[in-house]
């Protein structure tokens, strides 16, 4: 009997800005416009260097959704020589590739032409569906409308972008809403075959947010949702949990196959109060399973050629090292 494998990605987390046009009731990531609300190119270069030195293969690039709509943000961008956050993100992706790290961008809602521009400099991309339910926590967040997010996930499939999505538990959705959300993801993957992994993430209440008094999703709810994901999602989609937010030792036996990005360099900027566990800790939490490193692009998408010429050499360098794959016709 083959030993069960649990995967993870060694990454570095770079939030280009935390300014965001959405105002979700649970969010601590969002910041107002200020002089330090945008990472400078010098800061980005320093973090990429540290990531490369630490052996990271992935850089997770994030920023708040449509920050240019917030008063004063365009002035900040102009100060570093850019007119849009996407232009800045594109150049950072190029820099990451030159440094030797594969970009994975999660930028919130993007239009098809914006995705088409970023796709050639990203090994994969992502967008959390969160929920298909209309909930009060999203009342002031136009980018969180379920139909808008579903359409972007579908567009990623049409563009053959290896993709990550997921659910956020405990933000006002019901168990039936979770079932519906998983079914939507399964249906999208059945059409486009582009979803690498689905994250089952629990909301964490934070002081100063509108939902600071809300109880988080309990362990049994997380286990139930993981088990539901196993029954609904196609078997080639990895089921991921964040091990800094969830009791991994308790949840993993119920169908978890991936632990997401673990950074030896940067914090989890979305949940800064929850540090990443060390790899030695993770190995002790997964029982008899084997912990294996992966890339932010899964082997089947490398084999399909779902990457640009700009990324090919770097992807195959790591594919040989981590997946022990050999490139044909080179």
- Domain-embedded: residue 328: no
- Domain-embedded: residue 295: yes
- Domain-embedded: residue 330: no
CB 89 within 8 A of CB 120: no
User: pLDDT tens track of the chain, all 330 residues?
Assistant: 567 899 999 999 999 999 999 999 988 888 999 989 999 999 999 999 999 999 999 999 999 999 999 999 999 999 999 999 999 999 999 999 999 999 999 999 999 999 999 999 999 999 999 999 999 999 999 999 999 999 999 999 999 999 999 999 999 999 999 999 999 999 999 999 999 999 999 988 878 788 888 888 888 999 999 999 999 999 999 999 999 988 888 999 999 999 999 999 998 888 888 888 888 888 888 888 899 999 999 999 999 999 999 999 999 999 999 999 998 754
CATH code for the domain in which residue 197 is found: 3.20.20.70
Give the C-alpha separation, 9 to 57, whole Å.
8
- Domain-embedded: residue 73: yes
Tally of structural domains, the chain: 1
Q: Which domain covers residue 195, as residue numbers? A: 5-323
Note the pTM of the prediction, 2 decimals.
0.95
- Domain-embedded: residue 329: no
């Amino acid at each position: 009997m083959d030993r069960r494998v649990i995967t993870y990605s060694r990454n570095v987390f770079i939030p280009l800005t935390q300014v965001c046009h959405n105002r979700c009731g649970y969010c601590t990531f969002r910041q107002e416009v200020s002089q330090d609300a945008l990472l400078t190119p010098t800061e980005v270069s320093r973090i990429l260097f540290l990531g490369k030195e630490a052996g990271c293969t992935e850089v997770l690039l994030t920023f708040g959704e449509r920050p240019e709509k917030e008063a004063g943000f365009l002035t900040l961008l102009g100060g570093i020589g850019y007119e849009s956050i996407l232009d800045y993100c594109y150049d950072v992706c190029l820099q990451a590739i030159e440094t030797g790290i594969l970009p994975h961008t999660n930028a919130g809602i993007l239009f098809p032409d914006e995705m088409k521009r970023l796709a050639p400099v990203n090994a994969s991309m992502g967008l959390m569906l969160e929920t298909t339910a209309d909930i009060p926590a999203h009342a002031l967040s136009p980018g969180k409308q379920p139909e808008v997010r579903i359409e972007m996930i579908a567009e990623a499939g049409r563009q053959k972008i290896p993709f990550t999505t997921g659910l956020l538990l405990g933000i006002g959705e019901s168990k039936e809403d979770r079932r519906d959300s998983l079914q939507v993801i399964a249906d999208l993957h059945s059409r486009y075959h582009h979803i690498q992994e689905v994250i089952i993430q629990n909301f964490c209440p934070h002081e100063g947010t509108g939902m600071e008094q809300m109880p988080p999703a309990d362990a049994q709810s997380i286990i139930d949702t993981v088990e539901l994901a196993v029954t609904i999602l196609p078997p080639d989609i990895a089921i991921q949990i964040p091990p800094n937010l969830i009791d991994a030792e308790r949840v993993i036996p119920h169908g978890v196959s991936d632990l997401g990005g673990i950074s030896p360099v940067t914090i989890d900027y979305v949940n800064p109060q929850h540090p990443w566990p060390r790899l030695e800790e993770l190995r002790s939490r997964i029982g008899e399973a084997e912990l294996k490193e992966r890339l932010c692009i899964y082997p089947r998408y490398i084999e399909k050629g779902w990457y640009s010429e700009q990324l090919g050499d770097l992807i195959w360098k790591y594919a040989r090292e981590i997946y022990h794959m050999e490139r044909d016709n080179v």
